[in-house]
Amino acid sequence: MFSRLAKEYIAGNEICSGCFQDVETNNNVQCQRAESFSPQELRIDDKQEENLWQSIVDEYEEKQSQYTEWKKEQESSAVVVPYQDVSSNYLNRKIFPLLLPAMENMLVEARRWDALRIQKCRFNGIDYLAETLWNLNPKYPKRAIKWHTVFEIPQFKLLLRLQYGRMR
């Protein structure tokens, strides 16, 4: 496709689009077609050009409005979850304040049992951590009054019953 200026130049020089100018000799080399185009044939009306441009702009604005409507629908239908913007907020506010002190207590207890030096020790860190988290759960403050061992926790009892039943 040629621009309007290119079409006017071609029409003014009466050469077709297949012709070119020989750079070394500065002679016009004509193609096999000896057609000449008049400037009237190649000129695009300003009205046609404006209509074409306006149709492109209208099409763009229509697509843009469809996109903005779709975007608004997506934003309005989105479910808002607390702390959705940063997932680490939930860990920092809810999990770590309970888990880190329990892990510190577990390491202190492991040192007391000398579990870090003795290869086979009766101390089980995971069981101790489960006991601590079960008994110090802030949602159930009554559990801290009577301390339960790991074998007294109902979920552990059920798990041991299921595993013991399978072993038979």
Per-position b or e across 76-106, b if 16+ CB within 10 A of its CB: eeeeeeeeeeeeeeeeeeeeeeeeeebbeeb
Average pLDDT, the chain: 77
Q: How many CB atoms lie within 10 A of CB 115?
A: 19
Bridge-partner residues for 28, per DSSP? 21
Of 132, 136, 143, the C-alpha closest to 104 is 132
pLDDT in tens, 83-111: 555 777 778 888 899 999 999 999 999 99
pLDDT on residue 22: 45
For the question of whether the overall pTM of this predicted structure is more than 0.85, the answer is no
User: pLDDT tier at 24 (50, 70, 90 boundaries)?
Assistant: very low
Q: 79 pLDDT exceeds 80? A: no
Q: Cα dihedral angle (92, 98, 99, 105), rounded to 10 degrees?
A: 140
CA 105 to chain centre: 39
Range in 7-21, 87-101, 120-134, 148-162 the model is least confident about = 7-21
Q: 81 pLDDT exceeds 80? A: no
**Residues 6 or more apart whose Cβ sits within 8 Å of residue 43:** 4, 7, 8, 11
pLDDT on residue 133: 94
State the DSSP code for 2: -
pLDDT in tens, 36-75: 555 555 556 667 777 878 888 889 899 999 999 988 888 8
